[in-house]
């Protein structure tokens, strides 16, 4: 792996975090119903954490003499996390969050491997830290999913 692959993965992760913030915010606003309240609260808390991830990634890019992508470079990928037409369809949001977190986990694992091969230990440590957060988010929403399966 090269430094360019590390940069590419950092930029991808940055864009993904920004997209996640947008979708979590939209879903935390759109959802209705008693069963939605806990999901909305969790999404609202996660927005700040995901935004912090983006900031950390952006700062790491800057440290590597690169820059985080702007809105003109943005391409949406989280189709399953779009706000549902039915504002009480909490399950689709839960499933969308799980899918987005699994995608993030995959990206951070790839970034860890690329950074390790490029001997970029700072980026590797950052990716390990964020990976733990993403795995915790996935676990939380898997728990919500179990409740809905009953």
Task: Give the confidence band of 148 by pLDDT, cuts at 50, 70, 90.
Answer: confident
- Concatenating the DSSP letter of every residue in the chain gives --HHHHHHHHHHHHHHHHHHHHHHHHHHHH--STTHHHHHHHHHHHHHHHHHHHHHHHHHHHHTT-----GGG-----GGGSPPSSTT-HHHHHHHHHHHHHHHHHHHHHHHHHHHHTT-HHHHHHHHHHHHHHHHHHHHHHHHHHHHH-
Q: 86-112 pLDDT, tens per residue?
A: 999 999 999 999 999 999 999 999 999
The percent of residues above 90 in pLDDT, for the chain, comes to 94
| Structural domains of the chain, ranges and CATH numbers in brackets | 3-67+86-149 (1.20.1260.10)
87 contacts 32 by C-beta, under 8 angstroms? yes
- What pLDDT was estimated at residue 150? 73
Share of the chain above pLDDT 70, in %: 99
The model's pTM is 0.94
């Amino acid at each position: 792996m090269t430094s360019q692959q590390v940069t590419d993965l950092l930029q991808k992760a940055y864009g993904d975090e920004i997209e996640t913030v947008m979708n979590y915010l939209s879903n935390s606003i759109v959802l209705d119903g008693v069963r939605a309240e806990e999901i909305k609260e969790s999404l609202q808390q996660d927005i700040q954490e995901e935004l912090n991830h983006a900031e950390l990634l952006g700062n790491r890019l800057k440290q590597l003499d690169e820059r985080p992508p702007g809105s003109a470079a943005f391409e949406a990928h989280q189709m399953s996390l779009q706000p549902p037409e039915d504002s009480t369809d909490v399950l689709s949001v839960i499933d969308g969050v799980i899918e987005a977190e699994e995608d993030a986990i995959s990206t951070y694992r790839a970034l860890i491997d690329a950074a390790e091969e490029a001997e970029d230990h700072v980026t590797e440590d950052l990716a390990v830290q964020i990976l733990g957060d993403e795995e915790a988010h996935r676990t939380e929403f898997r728990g919500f999913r179990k409740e809905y399966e009953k």
